[in-house]
């Protein structure tokens, strides 16, 4: 099969330029992608060609130039597409991670075998890392990442990727009966988290209260429509009066000031969903913390068995920074292998024969300072690999107060109070579809309130500019025949 088309490439100077693309190959044999007459990317078997119907503009698209992935590229990952080789024609939503498992490759890597395929270092990401995205008229989707969205309206289906991501926050930090939870910054993602909370509450029949916290008139009204039981307007409410008020606080502000407020407002748990790459509260690499779906927990013996709710595994290895190793060496239960040193020692150990054929990460890490937390998440500027496994935790030991001065003092108080920080990234489309089918009122709320602007694909630069404006909620780019 050969498909030729023109599409807008996004460039490193935050502009778009039109390029000519050609896809040649097949799902069985693989594909060659050419851009402006030169080879751009070779793909092996397992990719299904789909025709784009619509694609939403995400905050990640707006900040794409700051990510460590090559440009130019066709960006866009909130994709609604349709088949071109099936009868009857099917509607698909597309999970963004291109992994061995998503392609149907029999030779799985250790991350796939461990049940965390979306964290495989070899993955490509639709519209973000190399794989051309949904702002082009055709995409090549890993065959198992193309999810049949029959029975879901196109208005709701185009929101499936961000809705699934929002729902992942609820699954990682599920409210308990009687909880009072809040969403800080209910705009694009925040409004979807409100909808996901509402759907979860109704389907799981768990009674908890949902509050939205904002300072914009249009978001006050939107929050009520999307699932908030009440809305707090920070223009008329002193934020200090809200300290320790919410059992779980979902922070979607992407700002340092938002994070500082969230740390104070959370009574039990702060779920960090988006960040801006800055040092916040004295903590580095919080963006990468979210990418790896890591948690920060107080260094307590009860947290040594931490794992995600649905994971069936036990922690077998733990790395402890030398600064606090003496406090922990005799506290680690039998059956957990103990390692100590600095971040360079950790990388050396993970590259040794002892971890050969295994997931090259420690199951847990104990850090004694904000600097060591950052070095756990990204120990080496030459790569993007943490020393702790994705979806696991860094246990935070604050016993040396001298390491927690200045901006980090608030974080010390947070962990000393027994509070936790959780994070999440992509979600399960199958479960998201199931939840939407169970909650038609949530579907109606998505259809009626979330998409504020539509643009034709030929006017993509204008759509991108509109998405940057505070007045927009969700901008969708549509493709016409």
Write the CA distances from 61 to 105, 160, 475, integer angstroms.
Answer: 29, 16, 11
Can you tell me the distance from the alpha carbon of 363 to that of 419, in angstroms, rounded to the nearest whole number?
Answer: 21
What would you measure as the largest C-alpha separation in the chain, in angstroms? 68
Question: Of the given ranges (14-18, 130-134, 259-263, 337-341), which has the lowest mean pLDDT?
Answer: 259-263
Which pLDDT does position 87 carry in this prediction? 81
Q: Token digits for 406?
A: 């200045």
Task: Report whether pLDDT(309) > 90.
Answer: no
Can you tell me the distance from the alpha carbon of 215 to that of 229, in angstroms, rounded to the nearest whole number?
Answer: 17
Q: Supply the mean pLDDT for the chain.
A: 94
pLDDT confidence of 177, banded at 50, 70, 90? very high
Task: Report whether pLDDT(205) > 70.
Answer: yes
2-159+450-478 with 160-273+424-449: one CATH topology?
no
Which positions ≥6 away from 238 have C-beta within 8 Å? none
Can you tell me the distance from the alpha carbon of 56 to that of 62, in angstroms, rounded to the nearest whole number?
Answer: 11
Which pLDDT does position 111 carry in this prediction? 93
176: which DSSP letter?
Answer: P
Helices (H) then strands (E): counts for the chain: 16, 24
pLDDT in tens, 108-139: 999 999 999 999 989 999 999 999 999 999 99
Which pLDDT does position 481 carry in this prediction? 56
pLDDT confidence of 210, banded at 50, 70, 90? very high
Mapped onto helix, strand or coil, the DSSP state of residue 246 is strand
280: which DSSP letter?
Answer: B
- List the beta strands (DSSP E) in 11-137: 16-26, 30-35, 38-43, 47-56, 78-83, 91-94, 97-98, 124-125
Phi, psi (degrees; rounded to nearest 5) at 59: -60, -30
62 dihedral zone (left: phi>0; alpha: psi -120 to 50; beta): alpha
Mapped onto helix, strand or coil, the DSSP state of residue 282 is coil
CA 267 to centroid of chain Cα atoms: 23
Can you tell me the distance from the alpha carbon of 454 to that of 202, in angstroms, rounded to the nearest whole number?
Answer: 30
If we measure between CA atoms, which residue out of 425, 414, 367 comes closest to residue 167?
Answer: 425
Calculate what percentage of the chain has a pLDDT beyond 90: 85
Which pLDDT does position 256 carry in this prediction? 84
Beta pairing partners, 6:
20
Task: Tell me how many degrees the CA angle 140-145-151 measures, rounded to the nearest 5.
Answer: 105
Which pLDDT does position 279 carry in this prediction? 85
**Is the Cα torsion angle 468, 470, 471, 475 positive or negative in sign?**
positive
Task: Report whether pLDDT(347) > 80.
Answer: yes
pLDDT in tens, 353-393: 999 989 999 999 999 999 999 999 999 998 889 999 999 99
Q: Token digits for 241?
A: 């009066």
Q: What is the CATH number of domain 160-273+424-449?
A: 3.40.50.720
Angle between helix 217-226 and helix 440-449 axes, rounded to 10 deg = 160
Q: Does domain 2-159+450-478 have CATH number 3.90.180.10?
A: yes
Q: How do the domains of the chain map onto residue ranges?
A: 2-159+450-478, 160-273+424-449
Which pLDDT does position 468 carry in this prediction? 93
CB 477 within 8 A of CB 457: yes
pLDDT in tens, 246-280: 999 999 988 888 899 999 999 999 999 887 778 88
Which pLDDT does position 480 carry in this prediction? 76
**How many CB atoms lie under 10 A from the CB of residue 84?**
13
Task: Report whether pLDDT(414) > 70.
Answer: yes
Task: Report whether pLDDT(306) > 90.
Answer: yes
Phi, psi (degrees; rounded to nearest 5) at 124: -105, 165
Mapped onto helix, strand or coil, the DSSP state of residue 296 is strand
Can you tell me the distance from the alpha carbon of 474 to that of 467, in angstroms, rounded to the nearest whole number?
Answer: 7
If we measure between CA atoms, which residue out of 392, 323, 321 comes closest to residue 361?
Answer: 392
Instruction: Look up the pTM and report it.
Output: 0.94
pLDDT in tens, 148-168: 999 999 999 999 999 999 999
Can you tell me the distance from the alpha carbon of 12 to that of 321, in angstroms, rounded to the nearest whole number?
Answer: 38
């Amino acid at each position: 099969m050969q498909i030729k088309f023109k599409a807008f490439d996004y460039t490193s100077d935050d502009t778009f330029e039109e390029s000519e693309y050609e896809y040649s190959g097949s799902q069985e044999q693989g594909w060659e992608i050419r851009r402006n007459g030169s080879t751009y990317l070779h793909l092996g078997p397992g990719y299904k060609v789909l025709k784009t119907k619509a694609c939403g503009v995400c905050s990640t698209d707006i900040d794409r130039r700051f990510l460590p992935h090559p440009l130019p590229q066709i960006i866009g990952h909130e994709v609604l597409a349709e088949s071109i080789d099936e009868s009857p024609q099917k509607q698909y939503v597309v999970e963004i991670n291109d992994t061995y498992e998503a392609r149907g490759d029999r030779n799985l890597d250790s991350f796939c075998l461990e049940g965390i395929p979306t964290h495989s270092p070899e993955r490509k990401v639709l519209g973000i890392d190399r794989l051309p995205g949904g702002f082009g008229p055709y995409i090549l989707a890993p065959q198992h990442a193309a999810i049949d969205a029959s029975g879901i309206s196109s208005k709701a289906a185009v929101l499936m990727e961000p809705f699934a991501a929002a729902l992942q926050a609820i699954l990682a930090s599920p409210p308990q009966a009687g909880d009072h939870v809040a969403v800080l910054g209910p705009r694009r993602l925040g409004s979807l988290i409100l909808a996901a909370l509402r759907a979860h509450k109704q389907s799981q029949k768990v009674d908890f209260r949902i509050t939205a916290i904002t300072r914009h008139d249009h978001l006050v009204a939107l929050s009520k429509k999307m699932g908030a039981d009440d809305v707090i307007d920070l223009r008329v409410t002193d934020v200090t009066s809200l300290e320790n008020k919410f059992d779980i606080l979902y922070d979607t502000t992407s700002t340092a000031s938002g994070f500082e407020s969230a740390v104070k407002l959370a009574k039990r748990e702060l779920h960090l969903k988006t960040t801006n790459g800055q040092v916040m509260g004295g903590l580095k690499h919080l963006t990468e913390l979210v990418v790896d779906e890591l948690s920060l927990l107080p260094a307590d013996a009860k947290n040594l068995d931490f794992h995600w709710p649905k994971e069936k595994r036990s922690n077998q290895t733990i790395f402890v920074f030398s600064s606090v190793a003496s406090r922990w060496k005799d506290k680690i239960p039998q059956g957990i292998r103990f390692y100590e040193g600095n971040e360079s020692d950790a990388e050396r150990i993970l590259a040794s024969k002892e971890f050969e054929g295994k997931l090259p990460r420690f199951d847990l890490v104990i850090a004694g300072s904000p600097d060591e937390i950052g070095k756990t998440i990204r120990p080496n500027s030459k790569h993007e690999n943490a020393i702790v496994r994705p979806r696991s935790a860094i246990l935070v030991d604050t016993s040396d107060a001298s390491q927690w001065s200045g901006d980090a003092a608030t974080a010390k108080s947070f962990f000393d109070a027994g509070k936790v920080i959780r994070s999440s990234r992509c979600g399960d489309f199958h479960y998201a579809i199931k939840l939407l089918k169970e909650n038609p009122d949530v579907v109606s709320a998505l259809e009626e309130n979330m998409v504020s602007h539509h643009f034709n694909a030929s006017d993509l630069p204008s759509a991108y500019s509109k998405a940057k404006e505070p007045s927009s909620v969700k901008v969708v780019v549509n493709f016409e025949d």
